[in-house]
Chains A and B, each alone.
Chain A
C-alpha cells in the first residue's frame, strides 16, 4: 500500500524565496495534517484539514505560511517569503477519520533549509 507521499524530500533555498511543499495523502483518508519538527520545539501541528476544508490553522506561525487542499489527493504548504527560522522538517500525515482512536500515518517529511 502506498503511504503518505511528500515532495521534495530535501529543499535548500535562499532567504526570501517562495517554498512549496507537497503532500499526497493515503487514498480514502479524509483528514490531513501538516506538522513541523525542530530541535527547539519538537513536533508541532500547523494545520488540519477535514474533507479538504481547513478546520484548525492555529498552529500556522504567521501570514507567510499558507496551506491548501484543492482535492482529496493533494495538499500544499507554502512559505512566502521564506526566512532562516523556517528551517525544519515538515511532515504531512493523514488519517481515515478524526477522533481519538484514529491513527495518523506520516510521510517521510521534507527537510527544509533556508540560507
Chain B
C-alpha cells in the first residue's frame, strides 16, 4: 500500500483557515487521495477525495500538487466542531480498503 505522511498535530484559531498537508511521494497513477476525519467519540467521517484535480465540497477543499506527490486539505473557516483527527489515505482504483494511519490531530482555539 502506498504510504502517506502527515504532521502529528496542528493548532488553529476559530474562524481562520486550516491547511493540512499530506505527503504521498510513492503515489501511483490510479491512487485516489481520500480524507476522513474522526471527532471525539464518533466514527470516521468522509470529508473529500480526489484523483488529479482540485476538489471542493461543502466541508472542505482538496488541493493536489501537479506531480501528485502531496496534497493539502483546506478547511476555509475553522469552527470548534472541526477539532478532530484528520486522516489522509490513498486508495487504488480497484481497492475496497481504507488503511488508516495516525492522522493529524487538529485543535481549534476559541
Listed in ascending order, the chain A residues whose CB lies under 8 Å from chain B are 4, 31, 33, 42-43, 45, 48, 50, 55-56, 91, 93, 95, 98-101, 103-109
Query: Is B15 in the interface zone, CB < 8 Å from A?
Result: no
- A48: B residues at CB distance < 8 A: 96-97
Instruction: Say what secondary structure dominates the interface of chain A.
Output: strand
Interface size of B by Cβ–Cβ distance < 8 Å? 24
Determine whether the beta carbon of B100 is less than 8 Å from that of A31.
no
Q: Which of B42, B46, B93, B102 contacts A100 (CB 8 A)?
A: B93
Determine whether the beta carbon of B45 is less than 8 Å from that of A100.
no
- One of B4-12, B29-37, B67-75 contacting the partner: B29-37
- A104: B residues at CB distance < 8 A: 44, 46, 98
In the complex, what's the smallest C-beta–C-beta distance from B108 to chain A, in angstroms?
21
Determine whether the beta carbon of A105 is less than 8 Å from that of B93.
no
Q: List 26 A-B contacts (CB under 8 A).
A: A42-B100, A45-B97, A45-B98, A45-B99, A48-B96, A48-B97, A50-B96, A55-B96, A93-B44, A95-B96, A99-B93, A99-B95, A100-B30, A100-B95, A101-B49, A101-B91, A101-B93, A104-B46, A104-B98, A105-B46, A106-B43, A106-B44, A107-B43, A108-B41, A108-B43, A109-B43
